[in-house]
Structures are given as structure tokens and as C-alpha cells.
Amino acid sequence: MGPRIADMPQDSEASLCLPSTSARAPASSNSSCSSHTQAQHLVAVGIMFTAQTVLGVGGVPIQPFGISYIDDFAHNSNSPLYLGILFAVTMLGPGMAYGLGGLMLRLYVDINRMPEGGINLTSKDPRWVGAWWLGFLISAGVVALAAIPYFFFPREMPKEKHELRFRRRVLAVSASPVSKGEDSSSEQSTEASPEKKAGLAQIAPNLTAVQFIKVFPRVLLRTLRHPIFLLVVLSQVCTSSMVAGMATFLPKFLERQFSVTASFANLLIGCVTIPLAIMGIVMGGFLVKRLRLGPMRCSILCLLGMLFCLLLSLPLFFMGCSTHHIAGIIHQPGAQPGLERFPGCMEPCSCPSDDFNPVCEPSSRVEYLTPCHAGCTSRMVQEALDKSQVFYTNCSCVAGGSPVLAGSCDSACSHLVLPFMILVGLGATLASVTHTPSFMLILRGVKKEDKTLAVGIQFMLQRVLAWMPSPVIHGTAIDTTCVHWAQSCGRRAVCRYYDNDLLRNRFIGLQFFFKTSSLACFALILAILRQQNKEEGTKATVSSPGLQQQLLASGREKKPEESRV
């Protein structure tokens, strides 16, 4: 699960400045770099990939089929609210996961191997590795219990009251003989045909596997050629790319920018961002139901939500501080020089190049990779009521030889973490408001027999175009801001220090790019819907000019019903 603390090279005594004559054991032992150890690592990675694949296969059917299931058996006016509740409950899982992860990360990765001697690591130490694996075991048990009720669901849910009446009328119309339809008046057939057509689409018979394979390419092309569907999916891909990057790297970003622990960063996300996002999803579904928003107004709601989300992200570019002075790596203009002032201070020491046990000189906020790099020759522990602090003294590379404190220097912008998270949470709320209206644009824009397939295609495109490449894009952009890499077995390992200004600009810049792209998609959707409405109005005027007075007279009565999603 993780390296034993007793085996780690960053020992308190080994990190001190020792004479060059004293032989120091190499930091990277041959055993940790052997082919057998690397093969074990590859096996662990393979198991993780397999587990994630199985998790994805099990989680895929819930959303597409669940959305279509609710929309089929709920009344049209209630469907948006039900879907909003579904999406909100779905978001509740990540919120609880962040909270659970924050608690688990307070435990060391090897919870049964905490040694009595050696290094006394705390969760604030950059070498700390939390019990990341424990959350998987707890979540897997909860998922197994939650899956049991699915076995007791009926094949068809009881229809809601108004929907049941409509279905019965549709069945009565579809079961009537053809001769009766021929004998009936043209006016009655005109009124019944749209209802019958919609009903037959909803009550379409189940296809066999061979029939489905034959029909699938034609249905797929018909769905992909729908401009509103493509633009809505593209906007959701952009939004999902933003969410995937934020969910994956926001804890790391908070750690680097504001010097918070990994557990506290996860708790902040789970307690601030996720609840506000849930509130936004429910609010979006409620607005669609309460205001009876049609496609046009749904697109306007999505456009406004994404626009204000974009505006709230602008202050995030300026909420942060530059990387503090790292001796021998980063030198801030005007700061007190470290190793540069004492170029020969490390000559008596034999400091390993790949050792990492950072210490901080509090007065000048200069950080050193190890006590050895600060020229410290002794160690002192100051006991307190709730915790103990470790100091290193007799440091030849520190001005005045003052003692240095174990651990990295805190960020000067730690007080900005709460305002930053509030802005991120408000932006998540506004972006989440667009979730349910955008889904309603899909459900009401495609044919009813293609609804399940359309939602499935949408989720597939989101996974392929957003959730898979977005973490890679964000991770690559973050890696380009690294200024000091650790070495392991002669190869580049983890990044020790980042250029915080560059990290902030590139991370928030990627978020800004995806929000802008989603906003552009909603603007195009609104433009297309307006053009379609103009064309339909022109055709209606040319084909039946005598009906204008009737339409104007009954417009107030029909408009709420026609605009209802």
C-alpha cells in the first residue's frame, strides 16, 4: 500500500548535514528500483484499470435508461423536476465521496504499520500519503447494498394520473379498425393522427437483436444529424470537461496555492462546491416545471446561467500568490538570498540529491529541500500541549544561523481559500442550473422512439470526449508549470514545486476556455431555435392566411401548453 516509514530514506538524522567522510546510504536503494518491484507496480496499475473498467460498465446503464424511464412514465409537466432531483441525488455521491476521502486521508496509507520511532509525519508534511484505498472499500460495500432494490423494480412503472388517461386514449385510437378510420371525417382523423403517432412511438414494440442491429445505423445517423442535439451534446461535453478537470485537480490546486492539507481540500469541495451544485440542479428543474419553459426559453436559461458562471470565474485569475523563495530553485526578486549568499555553506555536507524533507526559515520565508541543504547539524523537538514541533539548528546556510522549522512554508494567501471556494461554488451553481434544461432540449427535440438511444449517445460522447481526455489535458498543462522534479530510479517522478502564478493562470484558463465554448454552443442553439420559429411562422402564414385571426384569438390559451417542455 505504501512505503514503510522505517524504510524511507528521509530519516530525521539522515537529513542533517553530515561530514563528507561519513558514508551516507544512497537514497534510492537497488531493491526499490529492481525489475521485480517495477513488475509489482505494473500489476497494481493493471488491477486499478480493471476495477475502473468494471465500475464504468456497471454505472453506464443507470443514467441513460433511468432518464428515459422517468421521462416515459412521468407526466410531461413533472418530468423536469423529477430529472432535476435525479441529477441532484447523483451529485450527492461525489459530495459524500469528497467528505469520506477527506476523513480517510487523515490516516496514513499503511494504517497498521505506524512505527514508534523514525519520522513523525503529520498530514501537513508534503511526504504524507493518506489511506486512499480505504474509501474504495467503504464505497464498494455501499454500492453493493444500493444495487439490491433494482432487482425488485417492475418492467413498467405505474403511470401518473394524467399520463395514464392520455395513454388509454392513444391505445383506443390505435386499436380502432382501419374501416372506421376511413368512414370518420377528415377533421377527426386530423385531430387523432398526431396523438396516435406520438402514442405509437411511445408504445413501440420491442425489437429483436437482429432487428435492432439493422435499425441502429439509420437511427444513429438520424440522431447525429439533429443540429440541436449535436450542439447540446457539445455544450455538455465542454461543461463535463470543466467538471472533470476541476474534480481531478482542484484538491491539488488548493494544496499548492493556499497551503491546505489534502484532507481539508477534499472537505472544502465536499461541503461547499458539491452542495451548491446540487442546489443549482434542483433549481434548474424547478424553473423548467414552474415557468413551463419551452425549448426557446430553456436555451435562454442555459445561456444566462453559463454567462454568469463565466463572469464569476474572472476574479479567480487574481486570487493567489507567487511561489515563495526555494533556496537553489526559485528566487523571488527582493527576497533575502539563501544559498546564493553562502555559496560554500554546503561543502562540508554530503546532501543526497533526491532527498526531500523540506524546512522553512520563518522570518524570511525561505524554504530548503532538506535540513542538509540548509546546513543544519542538529535537531530539536519542542513539545506542546496538542502537538510537537521539530526545529533544526546550527544551520550554516541560514542568515544568522537561526533555527529552521520542519515542513514547507505556508502560503501568504491562505486567507483567500474560502473566498476562492465560494466563487467556485457559486459558479458551479450557475453552471448546474443549465443541466436539466439542456437535457429537456434533447428529450423533447428527438423522436420519442429515439429518446433512449439519444441519451445513450450523449453519455457515450461525454465519456469519450470529456471525461477521458480532460484529466489528461489538465494534467499536462499542470506539469508544464513544474519547476523542480523529483527523481526515482533515474527517471522523473513527482513534481516537488510549481510556479504558482503559471499554475493558476493555466488551470483557471482551461476552465475559462471550456465555459466559453459551452456558452458559444448555447448561443448557437438559441439562434437556430429562433430561425426555426421564424420559418414555421412564415410557412403557417403562407399556407393558411385565413387562420391568422383564429390563431391570434386563441394564442393566449394555446401558448402556455405549446411552450411547455
Count Cβ atoms below 10 Å from residue 288 Cβ, excluding itself.
27
State residue 300's pLDDT score: 93
State residue 384's pLDDT score: 66
Whole-angstrom distance, CA of residue 82 vs CA of residue 85: 5
**pTM more than 0.85:** no
Q: What number of CA atoms fall less than 13 Å from residue 262's CA on the CB side?
A: 21
- Residues 6 or more apart whose CB falls under 8 angstroms from that of 227 comprise 528
State residue 116's pLDDT score: 45
State residue 315's pLDDT score: 95
Structure-block grid coordinates of residue 355: 532527498
Mean pLDDT by 10 residues, the chain (565 residues): 39 66 48 68 84 78 71 72 76 76 78 56 70 83 84 71 56 50 42 40 53 76 85 93 92 90 85 89 88 89 95 94 82 51 69 82 85 85 73 83 84 91 94 89 78 79 89 93 84 87 95 95 93 82 59 48 43
State residue 445's pLDDT score: 76
Whole-angstrom distance, CA of residue 526 vs CA of residue 519: 11
State residue 220's pLDDT score: 79
- Nearest alpha-carbon partner for 494 in 252, 146, 287, 193: 252
61-105+210-322+415-529 fold: Growth Hormone; Chain: A; (1.20.1250)
Residues forming a β-bridge with 495: 485
State residue 528's pLDDT score: 92
Count Cβ atoms below 10 Å from residue 405 Cβ, excluding itself.
16
- Residues 6 or more apart whose CB falls under 8 angstroms from that of 322 comprise 332, 500, 501
For the chain, the domains span 61-105+210-322+415-529, 359-406
